[in-house]
Structures are given as C-alpha cells and as structure tokens.
C-alpha cells in the first residue's frame, strides 16, 4: 500500500516519495520528477538557455517521427535512435551552451521522459533537480498541494540511487530542512558519480558540475500534456 503523504505542517498538504511506477500513473496532485544526472538538468538547461519550444516524448519512436516532420528541431537523448537520426546527447552542458535556442528541443530518455509522461492524471507536473531546488521549493511553498516526488529510476534502473537521494532531500526541503550537503555526500559515497563519469568521457565532468550544484537554475519546468506529448513551459514566471 502506498505511504500516506507526510504533512509539511498540521495545516498544509502532504508530500511523499513514490516507491512504484503505479503510484505515479494514478497520482492526481502535484508531481515532482527527478532524473538527477541527466533529464531533469537537461530540461532545466533548455529552458534556462531560452528554448521556447521544449517537448518530452514517452517513446523513441514518437520523438524520431516528430523530428522527421519538423526540420527545425533538435533531438536530445542518450538512447541510440538509429541510423540517419541526428541527435544531441542528453547532456545538460550541451543543452545550456552547445545548441541553438531558436530551435525546438525534443527530449526522449531512458528514465526521465517515461517518468514524466506517466503522470497523465496529475494536476501539475514539475521537473526537479538540485540546480533548481531554491526556485522549485519557493514555487511549491507559495501554493502548497498534495505532492508526489517521483524518482525516475523507478522507470529504468533502481540502481540509479541518486534520484532517490535527491528525492529525500527535496522532501526535507519542502519541510523547511536543508539536507543538500548530506545528500551530496551520500551520492558521492554511492559510487554513482564515478560510474557516470566513466561512461561519459566527452561531457560527463561538465554535466556533473551542473547536476551537483544547488541553485544554478531559476527555471521551474512544468509539463503539460497536449495530444500525449509533454509540452514544457516555465512555471517560475518570466523567461530567464
């Protein structure tokens, strides 16, 4: 049975962390999606870089089809999308500094995009990471709602514990506690940073510098569904 939301205070809505995919699919309140090392930071970086058209797809097939239909678009994914498909890596650093903000950005990933697009019943879907923690927490506390924090590793590989560690820190941040440094130590101790760097020799170090920095971004990406596609805007207000 899913855990009950933990109240922020006696008069405020509750917050809990999803333990299974089914919780995300059934959730009707606010949802915060965390894919810490890539997707969350890449989406934040795209918004921060000035992209006005950012879309999230549930499957590689739909993303590739959209890319073929619209020539003025860039695909961002760590998945091999097949021969003849031009794509950027799912890299926060590339999204922030190495691509054209005038073009549409299409995102499809192993864990983050399936997690985000599973939340079709949610009242609101926000993308969360350390880099936008202060802006995100401020936004959520200004209009409290029952909240489900969704570690994207539930949708791909539960060994990616950085998502869960970040989720716990975010839960505590919404309750007024600063657990960032503790979470950072736990992530480093898990060995996941070294795993990530070993598999990403080109941009891994620069991506990790973004992923493990608190407060780098002001963007609060919000996902809304249009014909089954996740359309991103900035819930944080004015363009950054």
Segment 74-102, tens digit of pLDDT: 999 999 999 999 999 999 999 999 989 99
* Cα 211–chain centre separation: 11
Structural domains of the chain ordered from first start: 17-234 (3.90.1560.10)
Closest CA to 40 of 104, 112, 110: 112
Report the pLDDT averaged over residues 174-202.
94
Tens of pLDDT along 140-174?
999 999 999 999 999 999 999 999 999 999 999 99
> pTM here?
0.93
The first and second tokens of residue 69, run together, are 């239909």
8 compared with 168, residue with greater pLDDT: 168
Mean pLDDT of 46-57: 96
Measured distance CA(62)–CA(55) in Å, rounded: 11
pLDDT at 1: 43
| Average confidence (pLDDT) over 109-129 | 98
């Amino acid at each position: 049975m899913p855990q009950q939301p933990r109240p922020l205070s006696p008069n405020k809505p509750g917050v809990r962390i999803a333990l299974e995919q089914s919780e995300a699919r059934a959730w009707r309140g606010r949802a915060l999606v965390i894919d810490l090392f890539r997707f969350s930071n890449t989406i934040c970086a795209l918004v921060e870089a000035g992209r006005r058209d950012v879309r999230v797809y549930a499957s590689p097939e739909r993303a590739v089809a959209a890319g073929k239909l619209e020539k003025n678009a860039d695909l961002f994914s760590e998945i091999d999308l097949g021969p003849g498909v031009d794509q950027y890596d799912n890299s926060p650093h590339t999204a922030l500094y190495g691509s054209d903000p005038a073009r549409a950005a299409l995102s499809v990933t192993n864990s983050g995009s399936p997690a985000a697009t599973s939340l079709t019943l949610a009242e609101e879907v926000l993308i969360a990471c350390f880099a936008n923690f202060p802006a995100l927490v401020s936004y959520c506390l200004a209009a409290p709602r029952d909240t489900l924090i969704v570690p994207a590793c539930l949708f791909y590989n539960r060994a990616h514990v950085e998502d869960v560690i970040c989720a716990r820190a975010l839960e505590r941040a919404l309750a007024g506690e600063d657990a960032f440094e503790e979470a950072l130590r736990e992530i480093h101790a898990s060995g996941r940073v070294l795993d990530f760097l070993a598999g990403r020799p080109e941009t891994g170090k620069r991506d990790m510098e973004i992923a493990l920095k608190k407060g780098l971004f002001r963007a609060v990406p919000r996902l809304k569904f249009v014909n089954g596609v996740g359309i991103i805007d900035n819930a944080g207000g004015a363009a950054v």
